[in-house]
Every structure is written in C-alpha cells, then in structure tokens.
Amino acid sequence: MPRVPPTTGLSVGSRRRGGQRKAEETYGVLEAELTEWRPWSLPSLRKAFNAAKHTDARFAAWWEENSKEAYSTGLANAAAAFDNYSKSKRGQRKGKRVGAPRFKPKRKTRRACRFTTGTIRVESGGRHVTLPRLGTIRTHEPTVKLLARVKNGTARILSATVRHERGRWFVSFQAEVKRDLERVARPDTAVGIDLGVKTLAVMADSTGEIRTVANPGHYDAARKQLRRVSRTVSRRQGPDRRTGRKPSKRWEKANAVRNRVHHRVANLREDALHKLTTSVAAEYGTVVVEDLSVAGMLRNRRLARRIADAGFGEIRRQLDYKTRQHHATRLVVADRWYPSSKTCSGCGAVKAKLPLHIRTYECDACGLVIDRDDNAALNLAALAAACSTGTGVAGDRGTPKRVSKPRGADRKTRATRPRRMTEAGRAGGATLPHQRQTETRDRTQAEALTLW
C-alpha cells in the first residue's frame, strides 16, 4: 500500500498563514511584504503540491515511488475538511459545529487510497482485480457478481478505494449500476420494529403476527477470551508516549492476538445485522422504526455495553438504504416522543408512566395484558397508516411531516433523575427508553471485497 504524503500540511499551513497575515498587519508590515496567502480549494492545493514536489526536500526524494492518486486522496480530503470548516463557521452547514482541521497521526487514521484513473478492472477469472501501480491482486472473496454485471453492460466501474480495516485490506468499487426494480414479498404489509437489549428486535406486522429476533450477544460471548488475552497484553512492555518508550515484540504479538478477537466480534455483528435488515427490506412493503438516540442511551452505564453490542444505529442506517433498493418499500421513522410502549395497542389509551422494570403492559381501560415489547411493535406497525406517501425518512425531500404528539403524547421530561432499575428489570431484559431518540445521518454503503 503506498504511503500517503503529508499533504494536509499545505492546507494547515494556509490556515496558519492567514493568522500570520493578520498578526503582521498589526506590526505595520506593508501589504506587499505580507506572507503569501494560499486558498485551500482542491485545485489550488494540487497546484501548490505540483510546484513543491520537485523542489521541496520533503517530497523530492520519494514522491515518484507512489501513485499520484495517493496524493490526490490526501489533497481532496484536506480540501473537503477546510470546506466543511468554512461552511460550518458561516452557519451554512447543518449538524454539530466543525472545528479547524488538524494533522492526523499515522497510528490513528485509517489508511485508504482512492483510484480514479488508470487501469481499474475486475479480471475474467472472478478472483483477481487490477489496480494502478499495485497490479493484479487476488481477492479473498469472489468477484463474479460484479464481473457479470460489467460483462452484461449493466455496470460501469467509476473508481476503486483501497483501505485497511480490522487487520485486512479491502477494495471498494464505485460503480454506475443499472438496477432492476425489485418487488417485495408482501408489499401490502407493514411491520413495526421495536429494538431492545434482551431481544434484539420484536417485529409485529399489520396482520397481527409477532416475531422475535434474539440478541446474539457476540461481545458477551467473547468477554472471557478477551479478559485472558488482555491480561497477557497488560503483562508485556507496551508503548509510553510520555517517555517515548517503544513497545516490545512480545507486546505487539499479544496485542495482535487481542485485535483479532475484537475484529471477529465486529465481523460477526455486522454479518448478523446485514442478514436481519436484508430479510426485513425484502419482505415488507412498509417498515416502521423508532428514532432512537443511541448516543444518549450509551450514557447509561448499566446498559451501555449491551446497547453498543446490539448496534441500534447500524440497523437504522442499513434499513435506510436497503429499503430504497426495493420499488415498493418505504421506511417510516416514528416521532421521537411517540409513546409506543405507553400506548395500548387494543384501545389506544396512553399511560402516564411506565417504568422500565415493568415488562408486561396492563391496560387500565380495556384490560389488555400483553408483553411490553410486543405492544410497542404493534403500535409502530399501526403508525404506518399515518404516513401514506413518501419514504418517511427524516431529511428526505418530499417526506411528509412525522406524526407529532400522536394519541395525546406530550414532550415533557422528568425534572428528577430516574430511579435505578431493579434486579427484576435487569433479569427481564429491559428495553431502552423510547424518549431518548435522535436522527442518524443518511449514509451510503459501498460493496467491499476482501483482498487478504
């Protein structure tokens, strides 16, 4: 893998020169003698790098050894970072305030390089890919699906990104694909998905059928092995940034063993979530999910580990883009304050309070007795009738407004701290509070092939 040059130094330097110019003006320096200003747009950064790579000693000795795409990737990332910082500072960018870009150390950043020009193709054998400067590389996974689309003329490869993740090298192809519209198995059926800790998902459809998906708990299953390998790592001489001490060879070997355990857990979790979301998107015509605030839920120290292991945010993200691949599938996101657990699925009565340790819902109006999670899933499935058009995804164009204050729900929060969960509540696999919920930003997922 070609090393990425410190191209961000040019962009960071441009920011520093802006502050230097202001300081020089206060000293009375003439306009012609001020430090030269350099914009941080991609063309200007690329022009500055091309001018410096032949004369600057930092680049002249080794820049020809790598592909030009390695430098273009760093320059494009630097330009995008400064553009986001500038727009956020002017209030033109949504979301959290973005700070000024900083240098990224090699040990923390993810190694990646994007190839946009040169020889990028999938070989006819279905087991090799050809990339610029890297040549022909054998892949761990077969490439027959992408190869068949390219040969049939239904796909055209635009670029390829090579990245190092979880101890393996991956190549992701960005392709323009002619995709046929897919029909779901039950286009007229809506399903409500209530996520939890003990049971990963309780799915209730509009016909009244309820299905439960158990939480595999991959991290809990590997905790015993992680304790053993982590103990081995702690007994070796590790790195120390304060004193500059380098890690020993035995520490590096033990740390690699521990990382393999973490990587296996992450791969198992990703595989299970993909199978779940794929089956849901291919079966139902309407999928209703909750607008969960995963970041707020992780503040609960009693449930943080299990919440992180379940991957609530990843389920929402995968359902978002997988439902778009089906012609008759739409995704409806329930309002953050929708009382799915407090509302009776039989008569619609809403309870004022329903603590987490109460796992069975008992309606005071009609006398319905039902499991708390089943009741919430049925209410979510019934919510699909309120959104008859659009995708229902927050932020999409043409999306109708989500149901606000349904069935008499309010947006009041408690002034006091909630009571601690009892032992009975923990044993019963308490789900998460439906009041702490936020939107997740839409993302697109790239198809990746494992190189080795």
| Residue among 69, 205, 320, 373 flagged as catalytic | 373
Give the C-alpha distances (Å, rounded to integers) separating 9 from 12, 17, 80, 258, 438.
5, 12, 14, 34, 36
Confidence of residue 172 (pLDDT cuts 50, 70, 90): very high
Give the model's confidence band at 394: pLDDT under 50 very low, under 70 low, under 90 confident, else very high.
very low
Q: What share of the chain has pLDDT > 90, as a percent?
A: 39
pLDDT band at 19 (very low <50, low <70, confident <90, very high): low
Would the pLDDT of 436 be above 70? no
Task: Return the pLDDT at 442.
Answer: 35
Query: Is residue 420 helix, strand or coil?
Result: coil
* pLDDT computed for residue 57 by the predictor: 77
Task: Tell me the three state secondary structure of residue 182.
Answer: strand
Distance CA 218, CA 269 (A): 7
Helix/strand/coil for 365:
coil
Neighbours of 445 (CB within 10 A): 12
- pLDDT at residue 437 in the model: 36
Residue 94's pLDDT band (cuts 50, 70, 90): confident
- Residue 151 is predicted with a pLDDT of 92
Q: Which of 194, 309, 320, 374 does the annotation list as catalytic?
A: 194
Question: What is the pLDDT of the chain when averaged over all its residues?
Answer: 80
* pLDDT score, position 357: 85
Question: pLDDT (tens digit, 9 = 90+) per residue, 36-75?
Answer: 777 788 888 888 888 888 887 777 778 888 888 988 998 9
Per the annotation, the verdict on 271 as an active-site residue is no
Better-scored residue on pLDDT, 230 or 65: 230
pLDDT tens digits, residue range 351-390?
A: 888 888 888 988 888 888 999 989 999 999 988 876 654 4
Q: Which of 27-31, 63-67, 116-120, 352-356 has the largest mean confidence? A: 116-120
Q: How confident is the model at residue 420 (pLDDT cuts 50, 70, 90)?
A: very low
- Whether residue 427 is predicted with pLDDT greater than 90 in this model: the reply is no
Specify the range with the lowest mean pLDDT, choosing from 218-227, 244-253, 422-431.
422-431
Nearest by Cα to 403 from 380, 422, 386, 416:
386
DSSP state at residue 210 = E
Residue 327 has pLDDT above 80, yes or no: no
For the stretch 212-241, what's the b/e string if a residue is b when 16 or more beta carbons lie within 10 angstroms of its beta carbon? bbebbbbbeebeeeeeebbebbeeeeeeee
The number of angstroms, rounded, from the C-alpha of 330 to the middle of its chain's C-alpha atoms is 21
Alpha-carbon span 132 to 34, nearest angstrom? 42
Q: Rounded mean pLDDT of 5-12?
A: 38
Q: Give me the pLDDT at residue 224, please.
A: 96
pLDDT bin (cut points 50, 70, 90) of residue 22 is: confident
The reported pTM is 0.71
Read off the pLDDT of each residue in 9-29 and give the average, rounded to a whole number.
62
Q: What is the mean pLDDT of residues 205-213?
A: 90
Asked if the model's pLDDT at residue 334 lies above 60, the reply is yes
Least confident stretch, 177-186, 255-264, 288-297: 177-186
Q: Is the pLDDT of residue 241 over 90?
A: no
Beta bridge partners of 131: 135
Q: d(Cα 211, Cα 214) in Å, to the nearest integer? A: 10
Q: What is the pLDDT of residue 18?
A: 57
At 200, is the secondary structure helix, strand, or coil? strand
Question: With 0-12 CB in 10 A as exposed, 13-18 as middle and 19+ as buried, what is 420?
Answer: exposed
Strand partners, 170: 163, 450
Which pLDDT value is given to residue 167? 82
Distance between CA atoms of 230 and 255, rounded to whole angstroms? 8
What is the C-alpha separation between 261 and 229, in angstroms, rounded? 9
Residues ≥6 apart with Cβ < 8 Å to 391: 323, 324, 330, 331, 332, 399
What is the spatial distance between Cα 211 and Cα 358, in angstroms, rounded to a whole number? 21
The pLDDT-based confidence of 423 (bands split at 50, 70, 90) is very low
Region 441-449 average pLDDT: 40
Q: Is 251:208 a contact under the CB 8 Å cutoff? A: no
Backbone φ and ψ of 325, nearest 5°: -80, -10
pLDDT of 35 reads: 74
List 283, 290, 309, 320, catalytic entry:
290
Residue whose token pair is 């198809």: 447
CB 196 within 8 A of CB 432: yes
pLDDT higher than 90, residue 247: yes
> What is the edge-to-edge ordering of all strands in the sheet holding 121-122?
121-122, 128-131, 135-138
